[in-house]
C-alpha cells in the first residue's frame, strides 16, 4: 500500500470542508467592490476625466495625456485605499491564458525617499519583454519589443494585492499579439455596420453592442488524486484509464443535488467573482460525474470575455483552497462527456432593443428578420472560418463525438422560424404596392414568444434560442475571443453587403421595405443549405451534409486552412480585423500549439508506460510466476494453476504490444520533429503519431483490469470521478 495512489486516497478521506464566508448575505452589498467602476470613478475623478473615460469606452475617443495622468492618480488612490501595493497590465496573449507582470507603486524620488507613484504613462502603455510569447514569426527576439495598451472599455480591477489594467498586446510594428485587439476591431466594424442597417428602421439608434453570456463547464477532482496522475498534471487529461463500471449511464448526476464539498467551492469562487463584478448567476451539475457548470448574466462582449478569462483563473486559484483541481480541459476523461463553453450571442442597441428578439408589429419583425437572416447568411458564407475558430487539439476530442456538435457547421432555427423563412422564400413580393400595408402581407406573423425556446436541439453547433444565437461548439478551456472575433467580423461584413444590396434596389426605385424584403428573400434562398433541424449526431446528417456540400473537417490542422484562404484574407482586409501578416502568424501559432501539445502527450505516454505501467504489470506477473512455481513444488498439477498461467500470458501479450508500439510511436515522432513546415508537421503528428495513442491505451487499460488493485499505481477512473 505504498504507492502514491493509496497515499492520495488516504488524504482524500481526511478532507474537511473549509469554511466559506461571503462579505454579506446580500450580494448587492459587495458586488463589484474590487472594480474601479463608474460609481468609484465619479468619486475619485474630476468630471472631465470621468467623461473622457466614458467616451473612450463608448466611441474610442483617445484620452489626452494630462487626463490620463489624472485617471492614473485616481486609480492609485482608490487601489491604495484597499491595501493594494502593485499594478499590472493584464492581457491575453495567444497562449490561451492571461498574462501579467507586476510592478510596485513604490519608487524612490530624487532624494531617495520612497513614494507611491502611478503615472499616466504607466497606465496607458507598457513594454513587457514579450519575446517568449507566441508570435508566429512576427517578432524575432532581436526586436522583442511588444507593448500593452490600456483598454478603457474594460474597467480596472483588484486581484489579490494588485491593480489590474485590462490591455491589448501588440508588436512594436503594430500587429496584434493577443486575442483582445482583433476582437475590439471586429466589434467596432460591427457597430458601424449594424447602426447603418438599423437606420432603415430607426434613426435614433447610434450604437450597437454585441452581447455575450458564456456558460462554463468544468470538472473537479481531488488535488491529491490529480497530483498522483502525471498525465493529468502535464496535459490536463487522463491519457490512460479504464472506464469506471459506473459512469454517466444512469444519468443520475445531471442537475442532481450538488455535493457539499463542491458547494463550498462554488460559493467561494462565486463570492470572489462577484467582488470582481462578474455577474455569476447559475450553478448546477452537468452530465458526467464530477462535471459542473456555471454561467453569468450576459454582458457587453469584450467585458464578458475578460470576465470569463478572469473567472477561469479564479476557479483554478480558489480550487487549491479546497484541495480540488479544476479541469477546464475539453476532454479530461474518455468515455464520459467532455466540457464546452456555450457562447450566447446577440446584438443590442443603445436604445435597449435586442435586434435578435422578434417584435410585435410587422415593422419590428422586418427589423428582426433583417438581423436574423443576415446572421444565417454570414455563417453560411464563412462557416469554414467559424469552424477554424473553435479548432484545437483538445476540442478535436469533443466535436463529432456524440456529446458535442459535429464538426459540420449548421444552424438550428426551430420549426416556427424555419417555417417563417420558408414562407418568405416562396412568397411573392408585390413591388407595385402603393400602400405599404400590402407589402406586409409578405411577412408571415412571428409570435413574440417562440415555442422553440424550450426545444433545445443540443446537437446543433449554432442554434437560435429565442432571442439570441448560441454557439455550442466552443471548447471549455478556450478564449471565446477567437470565435467571437470571427462571428462579429463576418456579421459586420454581411451587414455592409446587405446595405449595399438594399441601397441598390432603392436607387432603382423600389420602396425601402420592398427592397429590404427582396434582399432578405434572396439571402434566405442562398443560405438555405446551412439550416438543419434534425439530429446533428446522426450518421444520416453527415451524409446529407456532404450532399449539400457542407464541410466536415474533423481535425484541427486542416480546419485551420480556412485562416489563410483568399476569401478569408479578403474578408480580414475588408473589415480591417487582421492584416495578411497577422492572419499568417495566427495560422502558424495555432499549428504550433497543435503539434506541441501532441508532442507532450506522446512523451508522457512513453514515459508512463515505461516507468509506471509496465513495471507494475511485471511486478504482478512475477508474483504470479512465484505462485505457480510454489504450486508445482507442492506437487499440484497444471489444473491448479491454469488461471495464473493465463494471466501470466495475457500480461506478456499486453506488455509486448505496448512496448513495441511505444517504440514505433517514438520513431514516428522523430520523423515528424524534423519537418520544417508547420502544417505538414501538425498533420503528421495527427496522422502518424496520435494514431498510436488509442491502441496503446487499449492495452494499458486491459492491464489495469488484470493487475492486482493493490499495486496499480495510477488513480482509477472510479476514484477520480466519484470520490469527492
Ligand atoms: P440555458 O441556455 O442554460 O438554459 P439561458 O437561456 O438562461 O440558459 O442563458 C444562458 C446564457 O445566455 C446566460 O449567460 C444568459 O445571460 C445569456 N443570455 C440571455 N439572453 C442573452 C442575450 N440577449 N444575449 C446574450 N446572451 C444572453
Ligand atoms: Mg444554453
Q: Report the range of poorest mean pLDDT among 234-243, 277-286, 339-348.
A: 277-286
Q: Is 212 in the pocket of ligand 1 (CB under 6 A)?
A: yes
CA 470 to centroid of ligand 2, rounded, Å: 7
Q: Closest by alpha carbon to 599, among 677, 524, 531, 692? A: 692
- Specify the pLDDT at position 477: 97
pLDDT tens per residue across span 484-510? 999 999 999 999 999 999 999 999 999
In this prediction, residue 247 carries a pLDDT of: 78
| pLDDT at 400 (0 to 100) | 77
pLDDT digits (tens, 9 = 90+) for 597-624: 999 999 999 999 999 999 999 999 999 9
pLDDT for position 456? 65
**pLDDT value of residue 310:** 96
Residue 412 reports pLDDT greater than 60: yes
pLDDT at 142: 44
Residue of 518, 682, 665 whose CA lies nearest to 592: 682
Q: For 175, which DSSP code?
A: -
Residue appearing with cell numbers 491505451: 697
For residues 704 and 241, the answer to whether their CB atoms sit within 8 Å is yes
In this model, does residue 182 exceed pLDDT 90? yes
| Average pLDDT estimate for 193-219 | 97
Q: What is the pLDDT of residues 553-591, one digit of tens each?
A: 999 999 999 999 999 999 999 999 999 999 999 999 999
pLDDT confidence tier of residue 267, bands split at 50, 70 and 90: very high
Task: Tell me, in angstroms, the distance from the centre of ligand 1 to residue 342's CA.
Answer: 9
pLDDT of residue 215: 97
C-alpha cell at 609: 508506460
pLDDT tens, 533-553?
A: 998 989 999 999 999 999 999
pLDDT: which is higher, 443 or 315: 315
CA-wise closest residue to 335 among 651, 701, 600: 701
Question: What is the CA(469)–ligand 2 centre distance, in A?
Answer: 10
Task: Note the ligand closest to the C-alpha atom of 471.
Answer: 2
Whether the pLDDT of residue 440 is over 60: the answer is no
398 phi and psi, to 5 degrees? -95, -50
**Ligand 1 site, residue 344, Cβ cutoff 6 A:** yes
Q: If you take atom 17 of ligand 1, which residue's CA is the nearest one?
A: 213
213 lines ligand 1 (CB under 6 A): yes
Residue 318, pLDDT score:
97
> Which domains does the chain show, CATH number per domain?
31-178 (3.10.20.70), 187-239+246-578 (3.30.590.10), 593-722 (1.20.120.1560)
Ligand 1 centroid, distance to 297 Cα (angstroms):
7
Query: By three-state DSSP, how is residue 585 classified?
Result: helix
pLDDT at 54 over 70: yes
Tell me the pLDDT tens digit for each residue of 627-637: 999 999 999 99
Choice between 226 and 160, residue whose per-residue pLDDT is larger: 226
Cβ of 353 below 6 Å from ligand 1: no
Contacts (Cβ under 8 Å, ≥6 apart) of 710: 1
Average pLDDT over residues 654-663: 98
CA of 456 from ligand 2 middle (Å) equals: 8
Binning pLDDT at 50, 70 and 90, where does residue 454 land? very low
Whether ligand 1 lies within 6 angstroms of the CB of 578 is answered as: no
Confidence at residue 345, expressed as pLDDT on a 0 to 100 scale: 98
**Residue 215 Cβ < 6 Å to ligand 1:** yes
Is the CB of residue 301 below 6 angstroms from any atom belonging to ligand 1?
no
How distant, in Å, are the alpha carbons of 212, 304, 350 from that of 154? Answer: 14, 10, 18
pLDDT of residue 1: 44
Percent of the chain with pLDDT over 90: 74
pTM of the model: 0.95
Q: For residue 484, give the ligand nearest its CA.
A: 1
pLDDT higher than threshold 70 for residue 442: no
Per-residue pLDDT at 447: 64
Distance in angstroms (rounded) separating the CA atoms of residues 175 and 183: 13
Strand 86-91 relative to strand 99-104, pairing: antiparallel
Is ligand 1 within 6 A of the CB of residue 31?
no
**Listed range (64-73, 502-511, 656-665, 673-682) with the worst mean pLDDT:** 64-73
Cell numbers linked to 290: 464530477
Q: Determine phi and psi for 258, rounding to 5 degrees.
A: -85, 130
Q: What's the burial of 71, exposed, middle or buried (CB within 10 Å: 0-12/13-18/19+)? A: buried
Average pLDDT over residues 4-30: 93
132 pLDDT exceeds 80?
Answer: no
Instruction: Read off φ and ψ for residue 151, nearest 5 degrees.
Output: -105, 95
| Atom number, ligand 1, closest to the C-alpha of residue 214 | 14
Residues 412, 460 contacting (CB under 8 angstroms): yes
Mean pLDDT, the chain, whole residue set: 91
Amino acid at each position: 500500500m505504498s504507492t502514491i495512489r493509496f497515499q492520495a486516497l488516504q488524504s482524500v478521506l481526511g478532507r474537511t470542508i473549509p469554511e466559506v464566508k461571503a462579505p454579506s448575505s446580500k450580494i448587492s452589498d459587495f458586488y463589484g467592490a474590487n472594480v474601479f467602476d463608474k460609481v468609484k470613478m465619479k468619486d475619485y475623478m474630476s468630471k472631465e476625466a470621468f467623461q473622457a473615460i466614458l467616451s473612450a469606452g463608448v466611441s474610442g475617443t483617445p484620452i489626452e495625456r494630462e487626463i490620463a495622468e489624472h485617471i492614473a492618480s485616481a486609480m492609485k488612490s482608490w487601489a491604495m485605499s484597499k491595501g493594494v501595493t502593485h499594478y499590472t497590465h493584464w492581457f491575453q496573449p495567444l497562449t490561451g491564458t492571461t498574462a501579467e507582470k507586476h510592478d510596485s507603486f513604490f519608487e524612490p524620488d530624487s532624494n531617495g525617499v520612497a513614494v507611491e507613484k502611478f503615472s499616466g504613462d504607466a497606465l496607458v502603455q507598457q513594454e513587457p519583454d514579450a519575446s517568449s510569447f507566441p508570435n508566429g514569426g512576427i517578432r524575432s527576439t532581436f526586436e522583442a519589443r511588444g507593448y500593452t495598451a490600456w483598454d478603457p472599455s474594460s474597467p480596472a480591477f483588484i486581484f489579490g494585492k494588485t491593480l489590474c489594467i485590462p490591455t491589448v498586446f501588440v508588436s512594436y510594428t503594430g500587429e496584434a499579439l493577443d486575442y483582445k485587439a482583433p476582437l475590439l476591431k471586429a466589434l467596432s466594424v460591427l457597430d458601424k455596420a449594424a447602426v447603418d442597417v438599423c437606420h432603415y428602421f430607426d434613426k435614433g439608434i447610434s450604437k450597437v453592442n454585441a452581447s455575450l453570456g458564456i456558460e462554463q463547464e468544468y470538472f473537479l477532482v481531488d488535488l491529491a488524486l490529480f497530483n498522483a496522475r502525471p498525465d493529468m498534471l502535464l496535459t490536463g487529461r487522463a491519457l490512460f484509464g479504464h472506464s469506471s463500471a459506473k459512469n454517466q449511464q444512469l444519468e443520475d448526476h445531471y442537475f442532481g443535488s450538488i455535493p457539499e464539498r463542491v458547494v463550498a467551492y462554488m460559493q467561494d469562487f462565486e463570492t470572489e467573482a462577484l467582488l470582481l463584478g462578474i455577474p455569476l448567476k447559475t450553478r448546477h451539475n452537468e452530465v458526467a460525474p464530477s462535471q459542473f457548470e456555471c454561467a453569468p448574466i450576459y454582458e457587453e462582449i469584450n467585458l464578458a470575455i475578460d470576465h470569463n478569462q478572469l473567472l477561469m483563473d479564479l476557479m483554478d486559484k480558489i480550487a487549491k483552497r479546497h484541495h480540488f483541481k479544476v479541469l477546464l480541459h475539453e476532454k479530461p476523461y474518455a468515455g464520459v462527456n467532455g466540457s464546452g463553453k456555450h457562447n450566447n450571442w446577440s446584438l443590442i442597441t443603445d436604445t435597449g432593443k435586442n435586434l435578435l428578439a422578434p417584435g410585435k408589429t410587422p415593422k419590428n419583425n422586418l427589423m428582426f428578420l433583417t438581423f436574423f437572416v443576415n446572421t444565417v447568411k454570414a455563417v453560411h458564407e464563412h462557416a469554414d472560418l467559424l469552424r477554424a475558430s473553435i479548432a484545437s487539439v483538445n476540442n478535436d476530442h469533443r466535436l463529432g463525438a456524440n456529446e458535442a456538435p459535429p464538426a459540420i457547421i449548421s444552424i438550428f432555427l426551430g420549426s416556427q422560424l424555419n417555417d417563417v423563412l420558408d414562407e418568405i422564400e416562396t412568397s411573392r413580393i408585390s413591388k407595385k404596392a402603393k400602400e405599404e400595408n400590402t407589402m406586409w402581407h409578405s411577412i408571415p406573423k412571428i409570435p413574440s414568444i417562440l415555442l422553440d425556446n424550450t426545444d433545445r436541439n443540443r446537437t446543433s453547433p449554432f442554434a437560435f434560442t429565442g432571442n439570441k444565437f448560441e454557439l455550442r461548439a466552443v471548447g471549455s478551456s478556450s478564449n471565446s475571443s477567437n470565435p467571437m472575433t470571427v462571428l462579429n467580423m463576418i456579421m459586420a461584413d454581411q451587414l455592409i453587403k446587405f446595405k449595399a444590396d438594399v441601397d441598390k434596389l432603392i436607387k432603382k426605385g423600389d420602396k425601402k421595405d420592398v427592397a429590404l424584403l427582396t434582399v432578405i428573400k434572396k439571402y434566405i434562398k442562398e443560405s438555405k443549405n446551412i439550416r438543419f433541424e434534425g439530429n446533428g449526431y446522426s450518421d444520416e446528417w453527415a451524409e446529407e451534409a456532404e450532399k449539400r456540400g457542407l464541410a466536415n473537417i474533423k481535425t484541427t490542422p486542416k480546419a485551420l486552412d480556412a485562416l489563410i484562404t483568399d476569401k478569408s484574407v479578403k474578408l480580414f482586409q475588408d473589415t480591417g480585423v487582421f492584416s495578411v501578416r497577422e492572419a499568417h502568424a495566427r495560422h502558424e501559432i495555432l499549428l504550433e500549439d497543435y503539434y506541441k501539445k501532441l508532442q507532450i502527450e506522446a512523451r508522457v505516454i512513453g514515459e508512463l508506460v515505461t516507468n509506471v505501467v509496465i513495471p507494475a504489470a511485471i511486478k504482478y506477473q512475477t508474483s504470479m510466476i512465484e505462485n505457480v512455481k510454489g504450486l508445482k513444488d507442492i506437487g499440484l498439477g497444471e489444473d491448479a494453476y491454469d488461471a495464473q498461467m493465463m494471466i501470466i500470458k495475457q500480461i506478456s501479450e499486453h506488455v509486448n504490444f505496448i512496448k513495441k508500439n511505444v517504440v514505433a510511436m517514438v520513431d514516428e515522432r522523430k520523423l515528424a520533429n524534423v519537418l520544417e513546415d508547420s502544417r505538414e508537421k501538425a498533420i503528421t503528428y495527427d496522422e502518424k503519431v496520435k494514431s498510436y495513442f488509442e491502441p496503446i491505451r487499449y492495452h494499458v487499460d486491459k492491464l489495469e483490469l488484470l493487475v492486482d488493485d493493490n499495486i496499480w499505481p495510477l488513480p482509477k477512473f472510479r476514484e477520480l470521478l466519484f470520490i469527492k
